[in-house]
Structures are given as C-alpha cells and as structure tokens.
Amino acid sequence: AQTVTQSQPEMSVQEAETVTLSCTYDTSESDYYLFWYKQPPSRQMILVIRQEAYKQQNATENRFSVNFQKAAKSFSLKISDSQLGDAAMYFCAYRSAQGGSEKLVFGKGTKLTVNP
Amino acid sequence: DGGITQSPKYLFRKEGQNVTLSCEQNLNHDAMYWYRQDPGQGLRLIYYSQIVNDFQKGDIAEGYSVSREKKESFPLTVTSAQKNPTAFYLCASSMIAVGQLSNYGYTFGSGTRLTVV
C-alpha cells in the first residue's frame, strides 16, 4: 500500500518570504499523480497543484511550484512571496494511475503560519 | 454552479444513535468518497464508490455504512458501532478516465462536523 509522509507538522514564514513544505511517499508503481491541497480555516479543501509522475518538468501555478524527485520519491511544495492568505493546513496526496484505483492517499498535513 | 453539497454542517449525536450525513454532487462525477479528518491524522478513507450500486471499504470502514443508489448521492451512516465518531467528515468526488491515465484531483464538499453529546 502507498503511504505519504509529511515530516513537518508545523511551519512558519514571514510575509513575502519563501517557504518549502516537504513530502515523501512510498510506492512500487511507476505511474501515478501527486497533489498538494490547501485547507484554510474554513476547512474547504482546495487543490493547489498537481504533478504527473511521467513528466520530468516540475509543475508551477503562479507562486506555487513543486520540486519533484521521482527517484527519491520526494514532492516538496515551494510557496514564493508568501501572503497572509496562504496560512492553512497543506496536505500532500498520492493517486495511482492504474485504472480503477482512484483513491487519494493523504499525508497528515503541515500547518503553515504566515507572520506579518 | 456545479459542486458538492454536504449537509448538515454541524451534527450532534447521542450515544447509541445512528446518524446519516448527506453528500450530493451535480458534477456528473463517477466516483465518490468519504473521508474522516481528525487533528494530527490527516484524511483517512472510510468508503468509496466508483459506480452506482457498488462501493468498497476504505481504511477505517468499521462502524460506518454507505449506499450509492443514485450517481449524484452518496450518504454516509455513522452507526452506534462506531465508538469514537466525533470528527470532521469530508465528501469528495472525481471523474474516472477508463483506459487512460488521469490526473484528476478531487472536488470536495465543505464538510460536516459530527459531535457526540
């Protein structure tokens, strides 16, 4: 079974600075998808960014980018120019690419605090 | 607007009672999921369904039951057999791409906070 590990229960960053959240995963599959979700205090889950394992290029969405290291099974999230609205729980998630295996496996999350 | 609606937002259960959490989606998604969220535990999968009238147990199915009589609806019943039901429950849905690789993420509802009183 696949597992996702987020080793940083809490992180903090100064407004306008850059922060990196770590995620590692364990799988024997070669094709899969990785996601970062944000959960603000409203508790609504919001998709931040996604990465296909077969793509070598790291995904980027505005201020959010990932560092995907397939051999190391690492998938970190970098938030640039941090804003107060970035304060939230961040969850890393894994999804198999095998047909019929649509389940998302989540890490335990990292709570990000943004200091003004 | 398309989305997922969970109701109620807050639910209180007395000891020994069964309660049902509602989840409805109008996204025409094939798959639906129930997750439980506890502090420090992340999201844990309770049940999921990829097609009407079929569903599978997730990692923590004991004490829960589901049905999938309609594509749009996937209600979760928390039975009296669930010894520690106080938690935040999230419903989600996604498309399934049969025979193709899919990078679809989930669409989540806004959650139901269940408290035992």
Residue with tokens 């770590």: A22
Q: Do A42 and B110 touch (CB under 8 A)?
A: yes
Residue A96 pLDDT: 86
Task: Say if the Cβ atoms of B33 and A104 lie within 8 Å.
Answer: yes
A56: confidence class by pLDDT, cuts 50, 70, 90: confident
Give the model's pLDDT for residue B98: 58
Is B94 an interface residue toward A (CB < 8 Å)? yes
CB contact at 8 A, A17 and A29: no
Read off the pLDDT of each residue in A7-17 and give the average, rounded to a whole number.
97
pLDDT reading at B101 higher than 60: no
Q: How far is CA B14 from CA A37, B80, B114, in A?
A: 33, 9, 11
E strand or H helix at A83: none
Of residues A110 and B2, more confidently modeled: A110
Cross-chain residue pair A102–B41, CB shorter than 8 Å: no
Separation of alpha carbons B70 and B84, rounded Å: 29
pLDDT in tens, A27-51: 998 888 999 999 999 999 999 999 9
Q: What was the pLDDT predicted at B83? A: 86
**Which chain A positions have a beta carbon within 8 Å of B55's beta carbon?**
none
In whole angstroms, give the CA distance from residue B5 to residue B24: 5
Specify the pLDDT at position B89. Answer: 97
